[in-house]
Amino acid sequence: MRSVGVEEELLLVHARSGEALALSGAVLKAADLDAADRAAADRAAGKPSPDGGAPGHAFEKELQREQLEFATRPVTRMGELRDEIVRCRAEARRHAASAGALVAAIATSPLPARPSRSPGQRYDWLGGQFGLTAQEQLTCGCHVHVAVESDEEGVAVLDRIRPWLAVLTAMSANSPFWQGQDSAYASYRSRVWNRLPSAGPMDVFGSADRYHEQIRAMLGTGVLRDEGMIYFDARLSASYPTVEIRVADVCLDASTPVVLAALVRALVETAARAWRDGEPPARVGTHLLRLAAWRAGRSGLDGPLLHPETMTETTAEDAVQALCAHVRKALAGYGDEELVREGVAGLLARGNGARIQRRLLRERGSLAAVVTDCARITTAAPA
Protein backbone atom coordinates (compact mmCIF):
# COMPACT_ATOMS: atom_id res chain seq x y z
CA MET A 1 0.00 0.00 0.00
CA ARG A 2 1.24 3.48 -0.80
CA SER A 3 2.08 5.40 2.36
CA VAL A 4 0.61 8.82 3.00
CA GLY A 5 1.71 11.77 5.10
CA VAL A 6 0.13 15.17 5.72
CA GLU A 7 1.62 18.55 6.51
CA GLU A 8 -0.63 21.15 8.09
CA GLU A 9 0.02 24.82 8.77
CA LEU A 10 -1.85 26.29 11.74
CA LEU A 11 -2.50 29.89 12.76
CA LEU A 12 -1.44 31.08 16.22
CA VAL A 13 -4.12 33.34 17.68
CA HIS A 14 -5.05 35.24 20.82
CA ALA A 15 -7.48 33.32 23.03
CA ARG A 16 -9.95 36.22 23.35
CA SER A 17 -9.38 38.71 20.53
CA GLY A 18 -8.67 36.07 17.86
CA GLU A 19 -5.84 38.17 16.44
CA ALA A 20 -2.85 36.41 14.89
CA LEU A 21 0.13 36.25 17.27
CA ALA A 22 3.82 36.15 16.31
CA LEU A 23 4.68 33.41 18.81
CA SER A 24 6.07 30.51 16.76
CA GLY A 25 9.49 30.85 18.40
CA ALA A 26 8.02 30.43 21.89
CA VAL A 27 5.78 27.56 20.77
CA LEU A 28 8.70 25.73 19.13
CA LYS A 29 10.79 26.24 22.27
CA ALA A 30 8.01 24.61 24.30
CA ALA A 31 7.96 21.71 21.83
CA ASP A 32 11.75 21.36 22.11
CA LEU A 33 11.59 21.24 25.92
CA ASP A 34 8.78 18.72 25.86
CA ALA A 35 10.69 16.49 23.43
CA ALA A 36 13.81 16.70 25.61
CA ASP A 37 11.83 15.78 28.72
CA ARG A 38 10.28 12.78 26.95
CA ALA A 39 13.67 11.65 25.71
CA ALA A 40 15.11 11.90 29.23
CA ALA A 41 12.20 9.91 30.64
CA ASP A 42 12.70 7.24 27.98
CA ARG A 43 16.40 6.98 28.78
CA ALA A 44 15.64 6.67 32.48
CA ALA A 45 13.18 3.88 31.69
CA GLY A 46 15.71 2.12 29.46
CA LYS A 47 13.71 2.69 26.27
CA PRO A 48 15.67 3.07 23.04
CA SER A 49 15.64 6.50 21.40
CA PRO A 50 13.82 6.71 18.05
CA ASP A 51 16.05 7.25 15.01
CA GLY A 52 19.15 6.76 17.07
CA GLY A 53 19.20 9.77 19.09
CA ALA A 54 18.36 13.42 19.22
CA PRO A 55 14.99 14.28 20.73
CA GLY A 56 12.55 15.52 18.12
CA HIS A 57 8.99 16.53 17.43
CA ALA A 58 6.68 17.12 14.49
CA PHE A 59 6.74 20.94 14.48
CA GLU A 60 8.59 23.51 12.37
CA LYS A 61 8.51 27.24 11.76
CA GLU A 62 7.02 28.69 8.60
CA LEU A 63 7.49 31.91 6.66
CA GLN A 64 5.58 33.99 9.22
CA ARG A 65 5.94 33.89 12.99
CA GLU A 66 2.15 33.66 13.28
CA GLN A 67 2.24 30.13 11.82
CA LEU A 68 3.14 26.68 13.09
CA GLU A 69 3.63 23.68 10.81
CA PHE A 70 3.58 19.98 11.60
CA ALA A 71 4.12 16.84 9.57
CA THR A 72 2.64 13.44 10.35
CA ARG A 73 4.55 10.20 10.10
CA PRO A 74 3.98 8.30 6.85
CA VAL A 75 1.26 5.70 7.37
CA THR A 76 -0.72 3.29 5.21
CA ARG A 77 -4.10 3.26 7.01
CA MET A 78 -6.43 6.23 7.13
CA GLY A 79 -7.33 5.48 10.73
CA GLU A 80 -3.65 5.86 11.60
CA LEU A 81 -3.51 9.14 9.70
CA ARG A 82 -6.52 10.47 11.58
CA ASP A 83 -4.85 9.56 14.89
CA GLU A 84 -1.64 11.29 13.78
CA ILE A 85 -3.46 14.50 12.84
CA VAL A 86 -5.47 14.51 16.07
CA ARG A 87 -2.30 13.89 18.11
CA CYS A 88 -0.30 16.62 16.36
CA ARG A 89 -3.12 19.15 16.68
CA ALA A 90 -3.49 18.35 20.38
CA GLU A 91 0.25 18.76 20.94
CA ALA A 92 0.19 22.03 19.01
CA ARG A 93 -2.63 23.26 21.26
CA ARG A 94 -0.67 22.30 24.39
CA HIS A 95 2.56 23.98 23.24
CA ALA A 96 0.67 27.09 22.09
CA ALA A 97 -1.12 27.32 25.44
CA SER A 98 2.23 27.45 27.22
CA ALA A 99 2.99 30.56 25.15
CA GLY A 100 -0.45 32.11 25.77
CA ALA A 101 -2.01 31.31 22.40
CA LEU A 102 -4.49 29.04 20.65
CA VAL A 103 -4.04 27.18 17.37
CA ALA A 104 -6.66 27.49 14.65
CA ALA A 105 -6.84 25.42 11.46
CA ILE A 106 -7.96 28.30 9.26
CA ALA A 107 -6.20 29.17 6.04
CA THR A 108 -6.19 32.96 6.44
CA SER A 109 -6.65 35.27 9.40
CA PRO A 110 -10.23 36.60 9.43
CA LEU A 111 -9.07 39.62 11.43
CA PRO A 112 -6.66 42.29 10.17
CA ALA A 113 -3.08 41.05 10.49
CA ARG A 114 0.41 42.42 9.97
CA PRO A 115 2.58 39.30 9.59
CA SER A 116 6.12 39.24 10.92
CA ARG A 117 8.64 37.12 9.05
CA SER A 118 10.43 34.26 10.77
CA PRO A 119 14.20 34.65 11.17
CA GLY A 120 16.59 32.91 8.79
CA GLN A 121 18.60 33.60 5.64
CA ARG A 122 16.15 31.79 3.38
CA TYR A 123 13.15 33.73 4.65
CA ASP A 124 15.13 37.00 4.48
CA TRP A 125 15.95 36.24 0.85
CA LEU A 126 12.33 35.41 0.07
CA GLY A 127 11.17 38.65 1.69
CA GLY A 128 13.70 40.72 -0.21
CA GLN A 129 12.93 39.02 -3.53
CA PHE A 130 9.14 39.07 -3.44
CA GLY A 131 8.47 42.20 -1.39
CA LEU A 132 4.85 42.84 -0.53
CA THR A 133 3.81 39.47 -1.96
CA ALA A 134 5.93 37.75 0.70
CA GLN A 135 5.02 40.25 3.41
CA GLU A 136 1.31 39.54 2.97
CA GLN A 137 1.77 35.78 2.63
CA LEU A 138 0.06 34.68 5.85
CA THR A 139 -1.71 31.60 4.51
CA CYS A 140 -2.08 28.08 5.87
CA GLY A 141 -2.24 25.06 3.59
CA CYS A 142 -2.52 21.29 3.79
CA HIS A 143 -0.01 19.27 1.76
CA VAL A 144 -0.51 15.56 1.11
CA HIS A 145 2.49 13.32 0.34
CA VAL A 146 1.93 9.97 -1.37
CA ALA A 147 4.74 7.46 -1.94
CA VAL A 148 5.84 6.68 -5.50
CA GLU A 149 8.29 4.03 -6.70
CA SER A 150 10.45 6.33 -8.82
CA ASP A 151 10.71 9.81 -10.27
CA GLU A 152 9.43 8.40 -13.56
CA GLU A 153 6.28 7.10 -11.91
CA GLY A 154 5.96 10.34 -9.95
CA VAL A 155 6.08 12.53 -13.04
CA ALA A 156 3.64 10.23 -14.83
CA VAL A 157 1.30 10.81 -11.88
CA LEU A 158 1.79 14.58 -11.99
CA ASP A 159 0.92 14.60 -15.68
CA ARG A 160 -2.32 12.69 -15.11
CA ILE A 161 -3.76 14.31 -11.97
CA ARG A 162 -3.71 17.89 -13.27
CA PRO A 163 -7.42 18.27 -14.16
CA TRP A 164 -8.60 16.92 -10.80
CA LEU A 165 -6.71 19.14 -8.40
CA ALA A 166 -9.08 22.11 -8.43
CA VAL A 167 -11.82 19.90 -6.96
CA LEU A 168 -9.59 19.34 -3.91
CA THR A 169 -9.25 23.10 -3.50
CA ALA A 170 -13.03 23.46 -3.56
CA MET A 171 -13.54 20.69 -1.02
CA SER A 172 -10.94 22.06 1.40
CA ALA A 173 -11.77 25.79 0.99
CA ASN A 174 -11.43 27.40 4.42
CA SER A 175 -10.39 31.03 3.92
CA PRO A 176 -13.36 33.29 3.19
CA PHE A 177 -12.12 36.30 5.19
CA TRP A 178 -9.12 38.53 4.56
CA GLN A 179 -8.00 41.57 6.57
CA GLY A 180 -11.30 41.91 8.37
CA GLN A 181 -13.70 41.52 5.47
CA ASP A 182 -15.41 38.84 3.43
CA SER A 183 -13.27 38.24 0.36
CA ALA A 184 -16.19 36.82 -1.69
CA TYR A 185 -13.99 33.75 -2.16
CA ALA A 186 -14.27 30.39 -0.41
CA SER A 187 -10.48 29.91 -0.63
CA TYR A 188 -8.83 33.32 -0.70
CA ARG A 189 -5.64 31.58 0.42
CA SER A 190 -5.41 30.03 -3.04
CA ARG A 191 -5.52 33.49 -4.63
CA VAL A 192 -2.89 34.97 -2.31
CA TRP A 193 -0.64 31.93 -2.72
CA ASN A 194 -0.84 32.07 -6.49
CA ARG A 195 0.76 35.52 -6.52
CA LEU A 196 4.11 33.73 -6.20
CA PRO A 197 5.73 33.27 -9.61
CA SER A 198 6.23 29.49 -9.47
CA ALA A 199 2.82 28.66 -7.95
CA GLY A 200 -0.15 27.14 -9.73
CA PRO A 201 -0.92 24.48 -12.35
CA MET A 202 1.91 22.91 -14.30
CA ASP A 203 2.28 21.71 -17.87
CA VAL A 204 2.52 18.06 -18.88
CA PHE A 205 6.18 17.09 -18.49
CA GLY A 206 6.26 13.72 -20.25
CA SER A 207 9.22 12.25 -18.40
CA ALA A 208 11.29 12.60 -15.25
CA ASP A 209 14.21 13.94 -17.31
CA ARG A 210 12.00 16.67 -18.73
CA TYR A 211 10.67 17.52 -15.25
CA HIS A 212 14.15 17.93 -13.80
CA GLU A 213 15.27 19.87 -16.87
CA GLN A 214 12.44 22.34 -16.27
CA ILE A 215 13.31 22.66 -12.59
CA ARG A 216 16.95 23.40 -13.47
CA ALA A 217 15.84 25.99 -16.02
CA MET A 218 13.60 27.71 -13.45
CA LEU A 219 16.37 27.80 -10.85
CA GLY A 220 18.78 29.08 -13.50
CA THR A 221 16.70 32.24 -13.93
CA GLY A 222 17.67 33.50 -10.46
CA VAL A 223 14.04 34.25 -9.66
CA LEU A 224 13.93 31.31 -7.24
CA ARG A 225 16.53 30.55 -4.58
CA ASP A 226 16.21 26.78 -4.35
CA GLU A 227 14.10 23.79 -5.28
CA GLY A 228 11.87 24.30 -2.24
CA MET A 229 10.52 27.41 -3.99
CA ILE A 230 9.09 25.34 -6.85
CA TYR A 231 5.51 25.90 -5.72
CA PHE A 232 3.63 23.84 -8.31
CA ASP A 233 0.14 22.64 -7.35
CA ALA A 234 1.75 19.18 -7.29
CA ARG A 235 5.44 18.33 -7.45
CA LEU A 236 8.03 15.70 -6.69
CA SER A 237 9.16 16.16 -3.12
CA ALA A 238 12.77 17.27 -2.83
CA SER A 239 13.11 15.43 0.49
CA TYR A 240 11.03 12.25 0.24
CA PRO A 241 10.18 9.61 -2.42
CA THR A 242 6.71 11.10 -2.81
CA VAL A 243 4.52 13.29 -4.92
CA GLU A 244 3.31 16.29 -2.92
CA ILE A 245 -0.14 17.71 -3.66
CA ARG A 246 -0.30 21.29 -2.39
CA VAL A 247 -3.66 22.75 -3.48
CA ALA A 248 -5.71 22.36 -0.28
CA ASP A 249 -6.44 24.89 2.42
CA VAL A 250 -5.76 23.65 5.91
CA CYS A 251 -9.07 22.09 6.95
CA LEU A 252 -11.08 23.08 10.00
CA ASP A 253 -12.23 19.66 11.22
CA ALA A 254 -9.57 16.97 11.70
CA SER A 255 -11.61 14.43 9.74
CA THR A 256 -11.53 16.41 6.48
CA PRO A 257 -7.80 16.09 5.72
CA VAL A 258 -8.18 12.32 6.13
CA VAL A 259 -10.87 12.26 3.42
CA LEU A 260 -8.67 14.45 1.20
CA ALA A 261 -5.67 12.20 1.79
CA ALA A 262 -7.67 9.10 0.86
CA LEU A 263 -8.81 10.79 -2.35
CA VAL A 264 -5.29 11.97 -3.15
CA ARG A 265 -3.78 8.52 -2.62
CA ALA A 266 -6.47 7.00 -4.83
CA LEU A 267 -5.85 9.70 -7.43
CA VAL A 268 -2.12 8.88 -7.41
CA GLU A 269 -2.82 5.14 -7.70
CA THR A 270 -5.32 5.67 -10.52
CA ALA A 271 -2.83 7.80 -12.43
CA ALA A 272 0.01 5.30 -11.91
CA ARG A 273 -2.16 2.45 -13.20
CA ALA A 274 -3.12 4.49 -16.27
CA TRP A 275 0.55 5.18 -16.95
CA ARG A 276 1.45 1.50 -16.62
CA ASP A 277 -1.42 0.65 -19.00
CA GLY A 278 -0.08 3.09 -21.56
CA GLU A 279 -2.90 5.62 -21.29
CA PRO A 280 -1.71 9.14 -22.17
CA PRO A 281 -2.48 12.10 -19.92
CA ALA A 282 -5.33 14.43 -20.84
CA ARG A 283 -3.90 17.38 -22.75
CA VAL A 284 -5.79 20.05 -20.85
CA GLY A 285 -4.20 23.45 -21.36
CA THR A 286 -2.66 25.10 -18.33
CA HIS A 287 -4.74 28.21 -19.11
CA LEU A 288 -7.91 26.14 -18.54
CA LEU A 289 -6.49 24.69 -15.33
CA ARG A 290 -5.90 28.22 -14.06
CA LEU A 291 -9.54 29.04 -14.71
CA ALA A 292 -10.62 25.85 -12.94
CA ALA A 293 -8.42 26.76 -9.95
CA TRP A 294 -9.84 30.30 -9.82
CA ARG A 295 -13.39 28.95 -10.02
CA ALA A 296 -12.69 26.48 -7.20
CA GLY A 297 -11.23 29.22 -5.00
CA ARG A 298 -14.17 31.49 -5.71
CA SER A 299 -16.99 28.95 -5.30
CA GLY A 300 -15.74 26.27 -2.95
CA LEU A 301 -18.74 23.95 -2.59
CA ASP A 302 -21.28 26.79 -2.79
CA GLY A 303 -21.25 27.58 -6.49
CA PRO A 304 -20.32 26.21 -9.90
CA LEU A 305 -17.04 24.46 -10.65
CA LEU A 306 -15.44 23.35 -13.90
CA HIS A 307 -15.93 19.67 -14.62
CA PRO A 308 -12.50 17.97 -14.51
CA GLU A 309 -13.15 15.97 -17.69
CA THR A 310 -14.80 18.59 -19.88
CA MET A 311 -13.65 21.92 -18.38
CA THR A 312 -17.20 23.21 -18.66
CA GLU A 313 -19.34 24.63 -15.86
CA THR A 314 -21.09 22.15 -13.60
CA THR A 315 -22.34 21.95 -10.03
CA ALA A 316 -19.94 21.45 -7.15
CA GLU A 317 -21.62 18.15 -6.29
CA ASP A 318 -21.21 16.84 -9.85
CA ALA A 319 -17.51 17.79 -9.88
CA VAL A 320 -16.88 16.10 -6.54
CA GLN A 321 -18.78 12.98 -7.55
CA ALA A 322 -16.84 12.86 -10.84
CA LEU A 323 -13.61 12.78 -8.82
CA CYS A 324 -14.96 9.99 -6.60
CA ALA A 325 -16.05 7.98 -9.64
CA HIS A 326 -12.65 8.48 -11.30
CA VAL A 327 -10.79 6.96 -8.33
CA ARG A 328 -13.42 4.45 -7.14
CA LYS A 329 -11.43 1.31 -8.02
CA ALA A 330 -8.38 2.56 -6.17
CA LEU A 331 -10.47 3.59 -3.16
CA ALA A 332 -12.00 0.11 -3.03
CA GLY A 333 -8.58 -1.50 -3.32
CA TYR A 334 -7.32 0.47 -0.34
CA GLY A 335 -10.48 -0.11 1.69
CA ASP A 336 -11.26 3.62 1.75
CA GLU A 337 -14.47 3.73 -0.29
CA GLU A 338 -16.87 3.95 2.67
CA LEU A 339 -14.71 6.51 4.48
CA VAL A 340 -14.71 8.76 1.41
CA ARG A 341 -18.41 8.22 0.67
CA GLU A 342 -19.37 9.26 4.19
CA GLY A 343 -16.85 12.09 4.30
CA VAL A 344 -17.95 13.54 0.98
CA ALA A 345 -21.61 13.30 1.94
CA GLY A 346 -20.85 15.16 5.16
CA LEU A 347 -18.90 17.88 3.36
CA LEU A 348 -21.64 18.43 0.81
CA ALA A 349 -24.28 18.56 3.54
CA ARG A 350 -22.61 20.74 6.19
CA GLY A 351 -20.16 22.54 3.93
CA ASN A 352 -16.42 23.09 4.04
CA GLY A 353 -14.60 25.42 6.40
CA ALA A 354 -15.54 28.50 4.40
CA ARG A 355 -19.25 27.80 4.78
CA ILE A 356 -18.82 27.06 8.48
CA GLN A 357 -16.86 30.29 9.09
CA ARG A 358 -19.53 32.37 7.38
CA ARG A 359 -22.25 30.62 9.37
CA LEU A 360 -20.37 31.29 12.60
CA LEU A 361 -20.14 34.98 11.73
CA ARG A 362 -23.91 35.16 11.20
CA GLU A 363 -24.56 33.36 14.49
CA ARG A 364 -21.86 34.92 16.66
CA GLY A 365 -21.70 38.40 15.17
CA SER A 366 -17.95 38.96 15.29
CA LEU A 367 -14.83 37.71 13.54
CA ALA A 368 -13.12 37.30 16.91
CA ALA A 369 -15.76 34.75 17.89
CA VAL A 370 -15.33 33.02 14.53
CA VAL A 371 -11.61 32.56 15.23
CA THR A 372 -12.02 31.30 18.78
CA ASP A 373 -14.79 28.91 17.75
CA CYS A 374 -12.58 27.64 14.93
CA ALA A 375 -9.76 27.07 17.42
CA ARG A 376 -12.13 24.92 19.47
CA ILE A 377 -13.18 22.92 16.39
CA THR A 378 -9.52 22.48 15.36
CA THR A 379 -8.69 20.27 18.31
CA ALA A 380 -12.10 18.74 18.95
CA ALA A 381 -12.40 14.97 18.55
CA PRO A 382 -13.46 14.20 14.96
CA ALA A 383 -17.00 12.97 14.48
Residue-level pLDDT at 44: 79
Question: Taking all residues of the chain, what is their mean pLDDT, rounded to a whole number?
Answer: 95
Residue 196 lies in a domain: yes
Contact 90, 375 (CB under 8 A): no
Residue 52 lies in a domain: no
Residue-level pLDDT at 72: 97
Residue 58 lies in a domain: no
Q: pTM, whole model, 2 decimals? A: 0.95
Residue 5 lies in a domain: no
Residue 372 lies in a domain: yes
Residue 294: give the domain boundaries.
109-378
Residue 275 neighbours by CB under 8 Å, 6+ apart: 153, 156, 157, 160
Residue 174 lies in a domain: yes
Residue 234 lies in a domain: yes
- 221-253 pLDDT, tens digit per residue, is 999 999 999 999 999 998 899 999 999 999 999
- 299-352 pLDDT, tens digit per residue, is 999 999 999 999 999 999 999 999 999 999 999 999 999 999 999 999 999 999
Check which CATH number belongs to the domain holding 276 and give it: 3.30.590.20
State how many domains the chain has: 1
Contact 273, 331 (CB under 8 A): no
Residue-level pLDDT at 48: 67
Residue 66 lies in a domain: no
- 153-174 pLDDT, tens digit per residue, is 999 999 999 999 999 999 999 9
> Residue 59's beta-bridge partner residues?
70
Return the closest-CA partner of residue 1 out of 147, 134, 101. 147
Per-residue pLDDT, averaged over 350-357, amounts to 97
Residue-level pLDDT at 270: 98
Residue-level pLDDT at 383: 66
Residue-level pLDDT at 344: 98
Residue-level pLDDT at 50: 57
Residue-level pLDDT at 290: 98
Per-residue pLDDT, averaged over 66-94, amounts to 97
Please report how many Cα atoms fall inside a 13 Å half-sphere around the Cα of residue 29, on the Cβ side. Answer: 7
- 106-146 pLDDT, tens digit per residue, is 999 999 999 999 999 999 999 999 999 999 999 999 999 99
pLDDT class of 382 with cuts at 50, 70, 90: confident
Residue-level pLDDT at 49: 60
For residue 51, pLDDT beyond 90? no
